[in-house]
Each structure stands twice: as C-alpha cells, then as structure tokens.
Amino acid sequence: MKFIDEATIKIYAGDGGNGVATFRREKYEPMGGPSGGDGGRGGSIYIEADCNLNTLVDYRYTRTFRAQRGENGRSAECYGAKGEDMILRVPVGTVISDKATEQVLADLSAHGQRVLFAKGGKGGLGNVHFKSSLNRAPRQCTKGDAGEEFELYMELKVLADVGLLGMPNAGKSTFIRSVSAAKPKVADYPFTTLHPNLGVVRVDAERSFVIADIPGIIEGAAEGAGLGHQFLRHLQRTSLLLHLVDIAPFDEAVDPVHEAKAIVEELRKYDEALYQKPRWLVLNKIDMLEDADKVVKKFIKDYGWKGRVFAISAISGIGCKELTYAIMEHIEANRLEAQQDEIAST
C-alpha cells in the first residue's frame, strides 16, 4: 500500500430540506387549516482520528465528500427526515487546515477524537408556522438552508517519541530493525527508505517508546535535492532526535563531519523549532573501525560537538541497548516534567 501523508479534499454538508405548504382535507373538515411540515436538517460532516489507520491513501483518489440532504417536509405536519451525518476517518496525528486561509482547524492527536467540520443546513419551515388569527390559510413556506462547504488540507504527522535523522545509508533502518520489531527495507544503496516507518522499542515489560525512521536527508534538500523536506514534518512531534552518522563510509572521499553539519543546516532551514529540539549524536558502524575510540574522539573534536554522543553498531547491536535505556530515561524525565507543569498550571 502506498504511503500518503497529505491530501486535499472538498467537503459539502447536506442542504436542509424544504418546508411545504399543504392543508388538511379530512371528512367533515373541508377547511382543515394548514398542515405543512418542516424540512429535515442536512447531514453534517465530521472527521475522526482512528488508530487503525496509518496513511491518508483513502483520500488520494476520492477527494469530494457530500453528506446527505434533509428530506422535504410533508403534509399532516410531518417533518422531513434528517440527512445522515458523514464521518471521515483519518490516522491519529493528522493536522487539518483550511486550504484557502491555511488556518489550522484541528490537530487530531488521540484515537476517537472527532471534530465537526461542516454543519448541515437547517430545514425550511412549513406553512403551519405562518398561521395566525389574520392569516388562517397561509401559503408561505421556506426553503432549507445550504450546508457548509470547505476545502481542507490534511497533513499527517506521525506520533513518535524519538525521530531518526541522517544521510541515506547512515544505518537508520538497520538501527530500528535492531531495537524494535519493525522491519523496514534495508539495502546497500541510497534512499532505500521511501516513507516513514514506526517501531515500538520495549525496554522492559512495562516501559516502551515509539521511534520513527524517515527517508534520508541530503545536502541541498531545501532546494529539492533527494526527497527534499517532504518527510521532516514527521519529526515535529518527537521529543528527541537521534542524528545517525556513518562513521566508517566506504568512500574515503566522504567526510562524516561535513555530512553531519550539512544535515543540521538542512534541519535549521526547514524549521527552527525542530532545529532546537534535543538532539543526540549517534556514531554508527564502529564495528568497521580498527581503533574506534580514536576515530570517535577525532570526529567529536573536528565537529565541535558538546552534546551527548553514543557510538554503536546497528547491525551487530554494539551499544544499542545502552542507547535505548538512555532514551527511555530521557522520555520518562520529560513526561514527569510535563505532568508537574500541568499540575502547577491547575
């Protein structure tokens, strides 16, 4: 199934049914009076987050959605039936905005969260509402109101605690396969990963976190090189970024320090808030080095890095367990701090 993480759709709520002008015609009551009923309300359109979905592919080909129109009123003061509401289901983490104004209308970040986006039109009034002592036989009735309509832009931002960042073939997919049950494609050529992958990392029976792997970013992504910035949005909800660097590239002309700095610069160009997120340096493929400690120290010195550094081998598992425990501690500390802030604010 193709991964689709953005879509534009048009939604039309149902129009209200028309009121009618009718009169009772019963035996012995030839002048029975007005009996026209009201039209039914048109169906509304809701959008609901569903954890069983992970892509917006359902909205790639079907882009127009219309809720049911309300029925017209009937005689004998019978009201028209209400139009059936329409519920569109999207993955958890979908941000929905108005296409015209670019205003964010909803951020569906929890399973079952439902938001009304287009309200159905109100039904028209039948002539029974216009009866008075001066107008005993009204022939007035009103038409139903039109339902609301909008053009919406939907953007999926996957929910993950940790995001992987790095050049193509830095070992991100191998790392996520090593520490979780996720099985993204792994191969010895660039851009093996073409869409985000999520993996659940279980530190122990009751402690786990979600990690996101996105396609590799290369220098010049801001100008459209490689896959560009298309998938960086999926890192915006994470609380920690792991910057994986291939410390032992096959091509001796490749400078890992230059590549690492280029990735960070692309991150800054895309989103300053994403650039400011906590970021750890993870030096991968140390199993391919004869003197790993020496190479790691030289890299840190040349880079001028002051933050946390981990040296691992994703394919052999060296250092991966220690890294996952450190991530879990960081996430738990963030959760505790958020809870304390929430308590303080109340």
**Widest CA span in the chain:** 108
In the chain, DSSP finds a helix count (H) and a strand count (E) of: 6, 14
pTM of the prediction?
0.72
Of 127, 156, 185, which residue constitutes the final position of a domain?
156
Residues 6+ apart with CB under 8 A from 149: 10, 11, 12, 13, 118
CATH of the domain at 320: 3.40.50.300
Query: Is the residue at 1 inside a domain?
Result: no
pLDDT the model gives residue 188: 47
Judgement on whether residues 249 and 129 belong to the same structural domain of the protein = no
Q: Count Cα neighbours of 125 within 13 Å in the Cβ-side half-sphere.
A: 9
Domain holding 151: CATH number?
2.70.210.12
Helix/strand/coil (H/E/C) assignment for every residue in 47-108 = EEEECCCCCCCHHHHCCEEECCCCCCCECCCECCCCCCCEEEEEECCEEEEECCCCCEEEEE
128 and 245, same domain (yes or no)? no
Q: What is the pLDDT of residue 164?
A: 87
For the four alpha carbons of 297, 298, 301 and 306, in that order, the dihedral sign comes to negative
pLDDT at 218: 56
Domain range enclosing 336 = 162-345
Asked, for residue 75, whether it belongs to a domain, the answer is: yes
Q: Which of 100, 123, 156 is the last residue of a domain?
A: 156
Q: Give the pLDDT score at 234.
A: 72
Which of 96, 125, 156 is the C-terminal boundary of a domain?
156
Q: Output the tens digit of pLDDT for each of the chain's 346 residues.
A: 345 578 999 999 999 999 999 988 777 776 778 989 999 999 999 999 998 887 888 898 899 999 999 999 998 889 999 999 999 999 888 999 999 998 999 999 889 999 999 999 999 999 999 998 888 889 999 999 999 999 999 988 877 888 888 887 778 888 888 888 766 555 444 444 456 777 888 888 788 888 888 765 655 554 555 454 566 777 888 889 999 998 988 777 888 898 888 888 888 887 888 889 899 999 999 988 888 899 999 999 999 888 899 999 988 999 999 999 999 999 988 888 878 877 887 6
- 208 three-class SS: strand
212 and 265, same domain (yes or no): yes
